[in-house]
Chains A and B, each alone.
Chain A
Amino acid sequence: MARYFIRRVLSLIPTLFVIVTLSFFLIRLAPGGPFAREKAVPEIILQNLLKRYHMDEPLWNQYVRYLGDVVRWDFGPSFRYRDLTVNEMIDSGLPISMLLGVTSLVMAVVSGVAVGIVSALKQNKWPDYVAVSLAVIGISVPLFVLGPILQLFVGLRWKILPMGQWISTHGWKAIILPALTLSFPYFAYIARLSRASILEVLRSDYIRTARAKGLKESVVVWKHVLKGALLPVVTYLGPAFSGIVVGSVVVETVFLIPGIGRPFVQSAINRDYTLIMGEVVVYSVILVVANLLVDIIYGFLDPRISYK
């Protein structure tokens, strides 16, 4: 187990290396640059800027320098927000985005699994129909539609919850609408997934054995069905977390949340090279670590898997 863990952690290094390298060059390939403006910057100032950010050097040198900085977790100054370093922006935004992401994931898993169980056990009765319809809506309505609808009704018309901004402004109530928006599609998918998987396990041979032993239906469900049936949900946590991280870029923009999502979008538009790269690295680390955690949890839950 320890050896497996170490091997997996070490294998993250080449993964991240490839991501950093590809992103570095892809961004440079995109037309425009951080100093391209409608109104041209005077040549002499441009030269000075390029020099200050080492952009007058050959691309290869810039790349090697960047790699060295990243290893020291130093993402350099932002091109656009002149008085901030990328590290400062990430340090202030990341906790907010993580709180939003983790809250949404927990909400999605808890409510998704609960609805999945009810829906499977009441198959083809009204609770099942309600759950299935909800799931269809959740999967088909995009975040940038759901968010504004919630803002409009819950925030603006009924004034139950704040329309946007964060805990620092409105207190804990501020997290509810964005987390709801962000978790909804994942709630829907997890509900569908757990429903299907519970129904499949309910038909399996070992559940027939459990019933033939005279166990009560509640024992059959809680002790024999759920563990196996919820494993696919655990597998899905990796992709779900990635999705939530990406989705949070949209939700942070819609709800004006000071996380790392909004600066990410802005940085891409501004060709703020250092900020884009810093965000890409942070997101990649979050995703690969999340996937590693899921694999390890899975190994603990499924006795048939042994890590060597």
Chain B
Amino acid sequence: MTDEVILQVKDLKTYFTVDEGVVKAVDGVSFDLHKGETLGIVGESGCGKSVTNLSIINMIPSPPGKIVGGKVLFHDKDLLAMSPSEIRHIRGNKISMIFQDPMTSLNPFLKVSTQMVETIVLHQGLSKAAAKEKAIEMLKLAGIPAPEKRIDQYPHQFSGGMRQRVMIAMSLSCNPEILIADEPTSALDVTIQAQILELIQELTTRLGTAVILITHSLGVVAGTCDTLCVMYAGRVVERGITDEVFAEPKHPYTQGLIHSVPRLDRDNTDRLFSIQGQPPNVIDLPDCCPFYPRCEKAMDICKKKYPKIAHFDQGRAVSCWLYSGGKDE
């Protein structure tokens, strides 16, 4: 991780218009990503993690979705203002994605070679033969045995873990600057999860790729991410360096999340801590702190206004009225 910022998400807002009203899936998310950094985005299911990342490469299905505000600066160029052909040049080339379910993320009707070669030919301008060489090399790096043979097979001939390896190989084949991995292990067997995470870490470190790792597991973040954003109901409620956030979580929601992780190094006689209540429905949310109904430290002001962001050292930022003592933005 260096000081060079390659991606700046600024006050991103993505709303969905559905029959029941407006879903503010992402409502003012900001963060920076540095060259070579691994950033974790955590939060409960439905808090807007996937929408944030699809917004970054401007792939929100529209209708019903629309990016209604904010900027995504990639090397100071706003991805959201790019023409369709410009952004296509970024997708899969400079910024690539891996998705949650490897069983459905590869096209079942095309050979793995076809799917990998088309990306490499498109972005690197190699001949088909050279692209296939490159694809085989990537599969080898991704730990697929006998890649020369397996590349000519169809996705259904691979197991779930192997398919995710293919996805990783494919997404890194054009040497992107950023890899966005959206819950890359959630659909896999527990035994394979660690291997896949390790593979992502190893390859991206070797290639110098920055990673945005989306997960709902704090355990995954602790083991892999340099920095972390905690999302709640479409907003980032706390961000900072992973070790510091774990050592001293500031937002009550982060505190709750960290306390609800089962730990082997503590004595487990107590019941596992859990945050009470349900995540809010993000349809037509009022302008209050969406966490206050579940918050043990809720105050009057929390019900009236969304808290300002309080900034601390080393990029730590928290959106909570408890820290009005922090520097105001």
* Chain A residues at the B interface, C-beta cutoff of 8 Å: 203-206, 208-216, 219, 223-224, 227-228, 301-304
Contacts and interface: CB of A to CB of B under 8 A. Distances in A.
A303 B107 contact: no
Interface residues of B, number: 29
Nearest to A216: B88
A211 B59 contact: yes
Contacts of A301: 109
Contact of B107 (A203, A206, A212, A216): A206
Contact of A214 (B91, B109, B154): B91
A209 B107 contact: yes
A212 B91 contact: yes
Contacts of A214: 88-93, 119, 122-123
Interface in B111-166: 111, 118-119, 122-123, 154, 156
A1 B107 CA distance: 24
A227 B108 CA distance: 10
A222 to B, nearest CB: 12
Contacts of A210: 107
A203 B59 CA distance: 12
17 contacts: A203-B61, A205-B105, A206-B104, A208-B59, A209-B105, A209-B167, A212-B59, A213-B119, A214-B122, A214-B123, A215-B88, A215-B119, A219-B118, A223-B118, A227-B109, A303-B154, A304-B108
B188 to A, nearest CB: 15
Contacts of B96: 212-213
Going nearest first, the 10 A-B pairs with the smallest beta carbon separation are A213-B92, A214-B91, A214-B92, A205-B104, A303-B154, A206-B107, A214-B88, A227-B109, A212-B97, A213-B119
Contact of B92 (A203, A204, A206, A212): A212
A208 B108 contact: no
A297 to B, nearest CB: 14
B29 interface: no
B226 interface: no
Nearest to B57: A212
A302 B156 CA distance: 11
Contacts of A304: 108, 154, 156
In this complex, the member of A203, A301, A302 whose beta carbon has the largest number of chain B beta carbons within 10 angstroms is A302
B108 A303 contact: yes
B110 interface: yes
Contacts of A228: 107-109
Interface in B80-108: 88-93, 96-97, 99, 101, 104-108
Interface in B5-53: none
A39 B92 CA distance: 84
A214 B115 CA distance: 12
A219 B96 CA distance: 18
Nearest to A210: B107
A128 B89 CA distance: 31
B285 to A, nearest CB: 26
Nearest to A202: B61
Contact of A211 (B91, B106, B110, B167): B91
Given A303-B109, A303-B156, A208 B99 contact: yes
Given A215-B88, A303-B111, 18 more contacts: A205-B101, A206-B105, A206-B106, A206-B107, A208-B59, A209-B106, A212-B59, A212-B91, A212-B99, A213-B91, A213-B170, A214-B88, A214-B91, A214-B92, A214-B122, A228-B107, A301-B109, A304-B108
A205 B99 contact: yes
In this complex, the member of B105, B107, B110 whose beta carbon has the largest number of chain A beta carbons within 10 angstroms is B107
B207 to A, nearest CB: 17
A304 B106 CA distance: 13
B110 A224 contact: yes
Contacts of B104: 204-206
Contacts of B109: 227-228, 301-303
A204 B109 CA distance: 13
Interface in B189-240: none
In this complex, the member of A210, A214, A224 whose beta carbon has the largest number of chain B beta carbons within 10 angstroms is A214
A205 B187 CA distance: 14
Contacts of B92: 212-215
A204 B97 CA distance: 15
A67 B97 CA distance: 65
B19 to A, nearest CB: 15
